[in-house]
Every structure is written in structure tokens, then in C-alpha cells.
A and B are shown apart, each in its own frame.
Chain A
Amino acid sequence: MRILQSLCVATVLLGLLPASIAAAQPDRIGQLRNVSGDAFVLRNDSRQPAVVGDIVQREDVIETGENGAVGITFDDNTVFSTGPNSSVSLEEFNFNPTTLKGSFLAKLGKGTLSVISGDIARGSPEAMRIRTPSAILGVRGTRFLVRVDEK
């Protein structure tokens, strides 16, 4: 009886949920744009070609070949784009669309990255960070470029 009751409550609650993109795709943190040349998304041991409009998820790694480039818009309105021979790991992304607060950590392993920060970087100074093999960047609301060329 109790199980039946909770089932009913759950059903009612589900019915009340707004139809939103976030509800339909719980793991998404952003979307791919402007893909050119050789570009891939690494996710759970699989390596798929990057396609415009596909979603990106937490812990995805974006890789480009010699002629590759990829743009990404994140759900907090941060914008990334990466040039050839690059590897970008989306290590951490938490965002609350109501409070506009969250945390963002990405790693540029090699190559080039252009960033226009979004809502998360407007929070505390530590909220958005970019790692490279030799440094860590703290971001306070801005546009910037990063290159890693460790040979």
C-alpha cells in the first residue's frame, strides 16, 4: 500500500516537471558547434567523430587532429573553441541555472584553446579554473587564450 502511494506521488511529481532540455538530457553540460577537420569526442572508452549539435557531457575529452577545430557552448554560457592538435578534458562542471552558480574545471593537455567565460566565472574567483600541464588558471569573467606546447 505504502509502495503504491509513493508510486502515485512520484507519478504526480513527474507530471509536474517542466519539459526542459536539462530534464531530457541529465548528463549534458553543453553542445558542439563549428566542427571542422578531424575532431573527436572521447567518452567512456569510445572515440566518436564530433558532430555539430551533439551534446557534451562531464568528463568528455575533445581531441582534434592536424586540421581540426571545434567550438563548444556550455550550459552556463561559457564558450570554448580549440584549434589543431589539441586535447581538452572537461573534468568538472556543476551549474545551477536558478542561482547561476557552479564550478568548472577543464584541462588543456596540448594545443590551443580560446575561452569566453560565462555565468560560473561570475561567482567566486575559484569557481572556474583551467589546468595546463604546468599551471592552473583562475578565471574572473573574461575572454582569454591558452596554448600548451610542451613537446
Chain B
Amino acid sequence: MSKLGYATKYLVVLAALLASACAEPRLGKNLVIVLPDENGKVGAVTVNDGTNAVLLDSALAAARVTSGNKVESVAVTNDDVDGIFSAALKAQPIPPSRFRLYFVRDSEDLTEESEKDFEAVFADIDRRSAFEIQVTGHTDTTGDSTYNAQLSVKRAAAIRDKLVARDVPSELIEVYGRGEWDLFIKTKDESTEPRNRRVEIRVR
């Protein structure tokens, strides 16, 4: 083989070595993947490297940061998700649950139907290793707003008392009242709306 032949051969081997050493890991040094939530809904995440940003707004949309600190889109599969994130996903706390219970007009008494729905709160608590509860009371826009603020707190407190009566420790329950300021159904002032006479219970 000629001298030039050897040189070419060396160069090819050297280039191959360099290429393999510099080969970009497929999923980069930083990786971000967007997943649908438990209801199938997908939000959005932007990934910014300081110069460029990639918007991820569909299920399994992903971005990697390359060794050159550049962010770019990358294709990933469910197998990638399972392979890399199985331990993190397994440790994921049960997402918070929300319950909405309705009241008889101008009272702290649950409607008959909501009285039954209330049982689902206890089933939810039983699923969790540890839990906390937030109860937020609301009213419709009938009557004075200061009176409604008080009524909303009384509604939330009534639910707390019902929980405590069934052995939920009171120190795990937070109570708030938001009067007529956070309507579930938007109405004009002085409107009777049964769906606004409610408490929202968050178990997490």
C-alpha cells in the first residue's frame, strides 16, 4: 500500500473514532417530555436554552438539550418513557381529587343528592398513604355579599364538622369561604342559582 493509502486509512479510522466519541446521545443531556394528564388533557411546556425555545404542546412531544447546549425537538416513544421514568412515575402521589357538593337555599344543609355524593370523599381518602383536605364554601348572588361571605364560611365549616364526626382529624382540614366572589355559573347580582350554592372539597 502506498504512503498516501495508509494516510487515508488512518484518517478514515480517526474520523470514525471521533464521530463515535462525539455521537450525540439520542435523548440528549437534558430531556423533557409532555404527557396527557389523567383526563387526557395536554397543556404546554416551553424549553429554553437561553437562545432558542421549543414549545411542547401535544402528547409525547419532547425536546432534548444537545452537548452543544442547543435545545431541539426529538421523537420519543412510550418505551422511552417507561425505560427512563418508571421509578419516578411509580412514586407519583395520587393526584388531588375535587368534589363539589350543593346546599339547600340559604342553609348549611346539603341537598339530598349531595348528601349521597359526600360518601365518595371517604372512598378517596382511603386510597391515600397520607392526605389533607381543603373545603371552600360558596354562595349564589342572592342577598347581601357580606352575609354571603359568612354563609360560605358556615357551609365549609359544616362540612368540616361532618368530616370530623366521621373521624377525619380536624388538623388535616383547612376551611375557606369565598362568598359570592367565585361563581361556578356566572350570573348577575341577585340571581338564584343552585349550582353556585356549593362547597368545593379538595383531597390531596
**Given that A135-B49, A142-B37 are known contacts, is A79 also in contact with B30, CB under 8 Å in the complex?**
no
Known: A73-B204, A112-B87, A139-B45. A24 touches B171 (CB 8 A): yes
Please tell me if the beta carbons of B92 and A71 are within 8 angstroms of each other in the complex: yes
User: What separation, in Å, do the CA atoms of A151 and B67 have in the docked complex?
Assistant: 11
**B 21-72 contacts with A by CB, 8 A:** 25, 27, 29-37, 41-50, 56, 65, 69, 71
User: Which residue of chain B lies nearest to A39 when distances are taken between CB atoms in the complex?
Assistant: B91
A83 touching B42 in the complex, CB below 8 Å, given contacts A21-B171, A71-B93, A143-B35: no
A113:B174 contact, CB within 8 angstroms = no
The answer to whether A142 and B43 have CB atoms under 8 Å apart is: yes
> A9 an interface residue at 8 Å Cβ cutoff?
no
A112's contact among B48, B84, B129, B178, by CB below 8 Å, is which? B84
Number of interface residues of A (CB under 8 A): 55
Q: How many A-B residue pairs have CB under 8 A?
A: 162
- Cβ of B124 < 8 Å from any Cβ of A? no
Smallest CB gap from B81: residue in A: A145
Inter-chain CA distance A114–B37, complex, in Å, is 12
Of B90, B174, B204, which one neighbours A69 at CB under 8 angstroms?
Answer: B90
| From B31, B44, B175, contact of A147 by CB (8 A) | B31
- Distance from B74 Cβ to chain A, minimum over Cβ atoms (Å): 12
B48, B89, B172: the one within 8 Å of A137 (CB)? B48
Bound form: Cα–Cα A101–B120 in Å: 28
Query: Looking at the complex, which one of A33, A86, A112 makes contact with B93 (CB distance below 8 Å)?
Result: A33
Which A residues lie within 8 Å of B29 (CB)? 134, 148-151
Contact with B along A84-98 (1 / 0, CB 8 A): 101000000000011
Q: Is A31 an interface residue (CB 8 A)?
A: yes
**Complex: A121 Cα to B35 Cα, angstroms:** 16
- Also in contact, A20 and B88, with CB within 8 A (given A132-B30, A146-B30): no
* CB-contacts of A84-127 with B (<8 A): 84, 86, 97-98, 112-114, 116-118, 121, 125
How many angstroms from the CA of A145 to the CA of B43 in the assembled complex? 13
At the interface, yes or no: B95 with Cβ under 8 Å from chain A? yes
Q: Could you write out 7 A-B pairs with CB less than 8 Å apart?
A: A79-B95, A97-B134, A132-B30, A134-B30, A140-B44, A143-B34, A147-B31
Q: Which residues of A approach B to under 8 Å, CB–CB?
A: 18-22, 24, 31, 33-36, 52-53, 69-73, 77, 79, 81-84, 86, 97-98, 112-114, 116-118, 121, 125, 132-151
Which 5 pairs, one residue from A and one from B, show the smallest C-beta to C-beta distance? A142-B43, A83-B87, A83-B88, A69-B91, A141-B43
